[in-house]
């Protein structure tokens, strides 16, 4: 209720009524929940966690003033929600994280880092560490979700933070062949760290559970979307999808990338464009056929990868990367994506086939058109297939309707026959009883004779 009140006042321009002691009381109420063990218990703990995350998001939307201690306490509330076992709680926490990070993750000033900016680097490091090291599935899933929600300002400002405190926090944390010294001149180091962590989380070889791999795939695509939407505001004259990313040696080996894969797409420093990295990961995720006691859990990852391919191809359409051999590599990537989705459309799991079909239709019918090789041929084939499917479905529906009518008529006839049989049986029983009566018996004659008074 309190979260709704704060959101309502914020939406209607009455935030001024929350200034002073009232605003402080609201912030302290939300920040103090985790200190009172209100998150314990199953159902009650879930409800309190969702409520606290919702209130945190409302506080961020209202842009209430928070002390560094309050910000850290509110971040703890969001972290608990992200690592919860309930998917609904994770969704509420993710919404709160989106607003909270954009309001309270303060970039460092030119004079030096503030307490708030140093707090951010510790938070990012904690997320990366949880994704790579934690053996608790809920924690690694929540960390993967959180990394995908980071604002562009964090990724751009991260090198500046690293010069002050990040070296001691992140040095040795990732299996990267990246020199963190001189990071203040490297505007993409933050992107390197976050992308490499998510790539590791996506791969089946990392032994992460299927939920973590699914969340990592989703976060990689969300990161691309965030950068494309907001990168221009940071005055960096580069196509956001072409931002250079230096993959770690471990991730290169895990993706089975050869020197031939790198030869035409890497730059002088050995980095490749962000869209290449994300594309390789998505195609690799389409091959995730991991199983456990729950069945084909790899299908969760494959479904997320198909949705990610759709989003990435739409981003590439709106932010084209076309320069010689890179354009050819991009064309090959489009072809590989369509091939992978068609393969999923023939899987045995109905849900996977359904997702593949919807993605394929959206790819082919997108406007403006996605530059897929032989798109016209693919469109004609898909139209014929859909027309045949509709005709078959209509015929099958009519047959089913007729079969239902025949079945109903058969049931009515069967009911009538059963009624007739029952009547015949009753009349037969009466007749049988009459046949069994020995009317010549004197005793029976006495019993059945009418009595007169």
DSSP secondary structure, 56-113, as one string: HHHHHHHT----HHHHHHHHHHHHHHHT-S-HHHHHHHHHHHHHHHHHH-PPPBTTB-
Residue 33: the pLDDT is: 67
Instruction: Report d(CA 398, CA 48) in Å as an integer.
Output: 52
**β pairing state of 272-273 and 244-245:** antiparallel
Instruction: Report d(CA 326, CA 328) in Å as an integer.
Output: 5
Residue 450: the pLDDT is: 41
CB atoms within 10 A of CB 419: 10
Cis peptide before 368 (omega within 30 of 0): yes
What tokens appear for 149 in the block?
Answer: 């929600």
Q: Is 178 helix (H, G, I), strand (E, B) or coil?
A: coil
Query: What are the residue boundaries of the structural domains of the chain, listed by start?
Result: 1-104
In percent, how much of the chain has pLDDT > 90?
31
Q: End-to-end distance of the chain based on CA atoms, in angstroms?
A: 89
Instruction: Report d(CA 378, CA 372) in Å as an integer.
Output: 9
Residue 440: the pLDDT is: 42
Instruction: Report d(CA 39, CA 212) in Å as an integer.
Output: 23
Q: Exposed, middle or buried by CB within 10 Å (0-12, 13-18, 19+), for 127?
A: buried
Q: Which residues of the chain have pLDDT under 70?
A: 1-23, 28, 31-44, 106-118, 157-188, 205-207, 232-237, 258-270, 322-328, 393-453
Q: Is 109 helix (H, G, I), strand (E, B) or coil?
A: strand
| Torsion angle defined by CA atoms of residues 72, 17, 39 and 207, in that order, rounded to the nearest 10 degrees | -50
């Amino acid at each position: 209720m309190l979260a709704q009140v704060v959101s309502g006042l914020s939406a209607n321009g009455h935030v001024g009524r929350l200034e002073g002691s009232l605003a402080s009381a609201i912030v302290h109420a939300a920040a103090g929940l985790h200190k009172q063990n209100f998150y314990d218990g199953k159902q009650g703990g879930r409800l309190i966690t969702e409520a606290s995350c919702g209130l945190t998001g409302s506080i961020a939307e209202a842009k209430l003033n928070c002390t560094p201690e309050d910000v850290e306490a509110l971040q703890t509330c969001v972290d608990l929600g992200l690592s919860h076992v309930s998917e609904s709680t994770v969704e509420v926490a993710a919404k709160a994280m989106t607003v909270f990070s954009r309001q309270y993750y303060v970039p460092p000033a030119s004079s030096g880092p503030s307490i708030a900016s140093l707090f951010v680097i510790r938070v990012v490091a904690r997320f990366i560490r949880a994704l790579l090291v934690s053996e608790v599935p809920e924690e690694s899933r929540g960390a993967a979700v959180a990394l995908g929600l980071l604002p562009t300002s964090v990724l751009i400002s991260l090198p500046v933070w690293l010069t002050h405190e990040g070296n001691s926090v992140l040095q040795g944390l990732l299996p990267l062949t990246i020199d963190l010294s001189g990071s203040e001149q490297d505007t993409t180091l933050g992107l390197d760290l976050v992308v490499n962590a998510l790539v590791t989380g996506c791969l089946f070889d990392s032994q992460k559970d299927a939920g973590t791999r699914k969340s990592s795939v989703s976060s990689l695509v969300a990161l691309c979307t965030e950068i494309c939407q907001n990168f221009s505001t940071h005055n960096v004259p580069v196509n956001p999808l072409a931002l250079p990313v230096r993959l770690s040696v471990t991730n290169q080996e895990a993706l089975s990338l050869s020197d031939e894969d790198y030869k035409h797409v890497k730059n002088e420093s050995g980095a490749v464009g962000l869209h290449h990295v994300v594309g390789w990961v998505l195609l690799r995720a389409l091959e995730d056929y991991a199983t456990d006691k729950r069945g084909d859990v790899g299908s969760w990852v494959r479904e997320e990868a198909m949705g990610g391919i759709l989003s990435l191809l739409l981003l590439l359409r709106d932010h084209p990367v076309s320069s010689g051999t890179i354009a050819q590599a991009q064309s090959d990537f489009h072809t590989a994506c369509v091939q992978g989705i068609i393969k999923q459309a023939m899987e045995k799991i109905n849900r996977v086939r359904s997702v593949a079909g919807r993605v394929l239709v959206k790819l082919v019918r997108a406007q403006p058109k996605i530059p897929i090789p032989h798109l016209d041929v693919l469109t004609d084939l898909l139209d014929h297939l859909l027309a045949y499917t509709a005709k078959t479905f209509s015929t099958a529906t009519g047959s089913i309707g007729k079969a239902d009518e025949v079945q109903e008529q058969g049931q009515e006839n069967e009911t009538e026959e059963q009624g007739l049989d029952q009547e015949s049986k009753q009349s037969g029983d009466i007749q049988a009883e009459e046949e069994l009566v020995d009317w010549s018996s004197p005793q029976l004659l006495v019993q059945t004779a009418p009595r007169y008074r």
